[in-house]
Amino acid sequence: MIFLFFKRCLVVKIRIGTSKGLVTYENGIEMSCQYPGLNVTAFHNDFVAIAHKHWGAKLFRSGIPVSAPVFPQGSKTVSGQAANLRQIWHIKEGGEKYPNRLWIATEPGALFRSDDLGESWKIVEGLWNHPTRINGQHWFGAGKDLPFIHSIIVHPENNDCIYVSVSCAGIFKTMDSGLTWEIMNDGMRAEYLPNPKPVAGYDPHQVLMHPKHTNVLWQQNHCGVYRSTNGGAQWDELSKQYGFCIAIDDQEPDEAWIIPVENETSRIPTNRRLQVLRTRDSGISWEDTSNGLPKTPFYGIVLRNGLVKKGRFMAFGTTNGNVYCSDDKGKTWQCLTTNLTKVNYISF
């Protein structure tokens, strides 16, 4: 089916990483399915990561298997076991200063860097050996056996400045391409711990930097929605809404969208209603922008990389294989498909 909003633009191309392949839609029509039957966990440009039950985590480039990151011999997880790659969560380019650089975030919680476009990978030892991980016992799994890194931000104006998000540990920032790391957890809560204000042990679900106002960061956390106006040095709690994903406007630094989940136990939409909420005043108020979404009870949720925004276009995919799109910044939604499996990752 081709929807009206697709007809109003020349090309709208959406790539959807699912538990059964990488599906591409163009102008509302399914054009291809790559890696059919495989669990696509991340992709960036021509790199695609999959997690296979028997073969483990693999990396492909333009459909051809390439070397995935390997933990150095003797590396240990926080539980003392040998560290082996379980999943690739995020792939990010190095920025204008480093055109041949790529970053990969993994489970167990490690960051790898390539300076030759993926021909070789090195673990970022400054983070892997951070005291909060190896001594403080502040890193632990959140819905997983082991902590994992799922979000990478490369500062657009200073490509040596990198933010990563660890579940569970928190947000870490480097100003020297990974040699040293600073903890950026002030203002956050970890209400699931006996001490809700530890040094580390927080669970950021997704963190985004505003592309123009780079001191503004937004975060959907296990314990609510947070925002920082000083580059993550201090976080302000905006809402206690649980959820996994967040989207921000590329022009207005005070505008963001979330898709609420009832709680960590049920992991269904709040009140079994698929709902998108928007704030235009930095979280002071939230409005329902769910026009066009199902009104009947709904049980799928949207994962941390399942919501995307580019200009006026937005799209999200659910764990039960539905994809919804908007061409008016989420004021109205239309269903693209209900025929996919769990959506892990989506991108225009």
Structural domains of the chain sorted by starting position, each given as residue range(s) with its CATH number in brackets: 38-240 (2.130.10.10)
Task: Tell me: cis bond preceding 168? Omega within 30 of 0 counts.
Answer: yes
Range name among 82-91, 136-145, 233-242, 256-265 with the lowest pLDDT average = 136-145
Q: SS3 sequence, 104-120?
A: EEEECCEEEEECCCCCC
**101-135 per-position pLDDT tens digit:** 999 999 999 999 999 999 999 999 999 999 999 98
Q: What is the pLDDT of residue 135?
A: 83
Average pLDDT (314-343) is 97
**Predicted local confidence at residue 143, as pLDDT:** 80
Q: What is the mean pLDDT of the chain?
A: 95
The single-letter code of the amino acid at 47 is F
User: Do 110 and 124 touch, CB atoms closer than 8 A?
Assistant: yes
pLDDT for 6 equals: 47
CB 303 within 8 A of CB 319: yes
- The pLDDT, as a whole number, for residue 336 is 96
Amino acid in position 136: G
| Rounded Cα distance, 36 and 69, in Å | 23
pLDDT in tens, 190-203: 999 999 999 999 99
35-57 per-residue burial string, b: 16 or more CB within 10 A, e: under 16:
beebbbbbbbeebbbbbeeeeeb
Instruction: Provide, rounded to the nearest whole percent, the portion of the chain with pLDDT above 70.
Output: 97
7 membership: H or E segment, kind and range: helix 4-7
| pLDDT value at residue 53 | 86
Confidence of residue 4 (pLDDT cuts 50, 70, 90): very low
Q: Residue 163's pLDDT band (boundaries 50, 70, 90)?
A: very high
Parallel/antiparallel/unpaired status of strands 323-326 and 334-337: antiparallel
